[in-house]
Chains A and B, each alone.
Chain A
């Protein structure tokens, strides 16, 4: 009975739409990390590293990425990687500006995946610090792709921020993905090593190899019981992340523990997973509820109007800019008859509403 109730609540939640503030915050953060990662993979350091690998190492012959089916001549083409990087940079900026939807969103997700995949195809070691960013970008691209009509209409009418455009399934997929990521990591440890993984020695070994100069390293290296405790908490939190997909209160606890795990591993071993820490905070902790609540208190009600149109490019750009910056609906059209006006009259159509709490209900 409780399971059925929870299932019903979950389905209702998937159908619920809210204003796009939370989704936009996720989008900015995800694209920010992606652009930083893309720039670094395109840069001289990694370019030279890939060149050295291509000339000095043997091909593994294994399937490594979703692009592994391509011929080696294509996978090893450095110009292709650079081109995908530039396509991503441009597409991401267009997506952030809400232009050329949904193509900018799909192109961003596809080109970023291609850049990273091509990079891993030309290296001798894999890092997992951009997997979550990549998959979140795909989720956000799905949102934009499936809601293009509504988003474009809302942008054209200047009511993007006041319209419920963010479906409940978007943050739900983010929760699902992070739960699966950490759950899979925990299950991988158990399936390879069993509960023997919690022996403290392996953590001491990794700390010795990667972080013996770091603060607290000496403490971990000299106290195996402390290392065992850290490994036990980590493994329990990772496996519990699977249950946290379905249970909100557990998710908060597991989110805090996993954030602590990442901060600890950065401190002890020097492996930064900054993106994962921020995504965990936004997805596993009640950030969405906090943001939705904050927005609800500040949001002005949407004023339906025929839409502001301008005959000039400058006027249209100004409308587009205001539409995107009108985060709390603070700029309202003065009249419902503002149609087909020149740009000189644009100011009279938008007035800044005084910040009065009495007017917000």
Chain B
């Protein structure tokens, strides 16, 4: 049936339709190439990484009461997207990122800094870390478990002569 004859379902597209289609296609191809995240455009990079290990921290005070890991910068950042992409604010700083397991020295220094700035009014904290990762039998589970007692650094006496 000829286009635009009565009863025909074939029509010739107008110039405006062609422009709209080409603009839509061009934007959806060009915008993600230019910028990783530019809502509503995106390169959809979620879960693109290959992390192999993750650490879970637990912090307790001298009496054994659990303290919020967030106060010590040890709360896991479980974001599966690339960092700093697609959101206007940064998450609270944390030492616990997926795929990155800090050295014991780094953990100690990090927690001491937070204790010094008043994260908790205690003499020391017990920090326990369990690292989960792949096992040789094809399973995924705990691979190491460590614990540290980290003391609050003494305040510097500013009036010392």
- A-side interface residues toward B, CB under 8 Å? 12, 14-18, 53-54, 56-60, 62-66, 68, 75, 113, 116-117, 120-126, 128, 131, 134-135, 138-139, 142, 145-146, 164, 167, 169, 173, 176-177, 180-182, 184-185, 187-189, 191-193, 196-197, 199, 201-202, 204-210, 221-225
Contact = CB atoms under 8 A, between A and B. Distances in A.
Interface of B: 3, 9-14, 16-17, 20-21, 24-25, 28-29, 32, 35, 37-54, 76, 78-81, 84-92, 98, 132-134, 138-141
A57 B134 contact: no
Given A56-B92, A65-B39, A201-B134, 16 more contacts: A60-B89, A64-B86, A120-B88, A121-B88, A122-B88, A125-B79, A128-B44, A131-B40, A139-B24, A167-B11, A177-B28, A184-B44, A185-B48, A193-B50, A199-B50, A224-B138
Contacts of A224: 134, 138-140
Contacts of B44: 128, 131, 181-182, 184-185, 188
Nearest to B14: A146
Nearest to A109: B40
A221 B88 contact: no
Contact of B48 (A145, A188, A208): A188
Given A66-B38, A222-B138, A206 B47 contact: yes
A75 B16 CA distance: 33
B10 A204 contact: no
A122 to B, nearest CB: 6
A181 B16 CA distance: 25
B24 A173 contact: yes
Contacts of B79: 125
B91 A167 contact: no
Contact of A169 (B12, B17, B29, B38): B17
A205 B132 contact: yes
Which label, helix, strand, loop or mixed, suits the secondary structure of the A interface?
Answer: helix
A205 B80 CA distance: 11
Nearest to A67: B39
A191 B32 CA distance: 14
A115 to B, nearest CB: 11
A121 B17 CA distance: 33
B139 A221 contact: yes
Given A62-B84, A126-B87, A181-B44, A201 B140 contact: yes
Contacts of A64: 37-39, 85-88
A173 B109 CA distance: 54
Contact of B10 (A16, A182, A209, A221): A16
A278 B43 CA distance: 21
A128 B44 CA distance: 7
Contacts of A189: 47-48
A242 to B, nearest CB: 11
B48 A146 contact: no
Contact of B50 (A164, A187, A188, A196): A196
Nearest to A169: B21
A146 B20 contact: yes
A283 B89 CA distance: 35
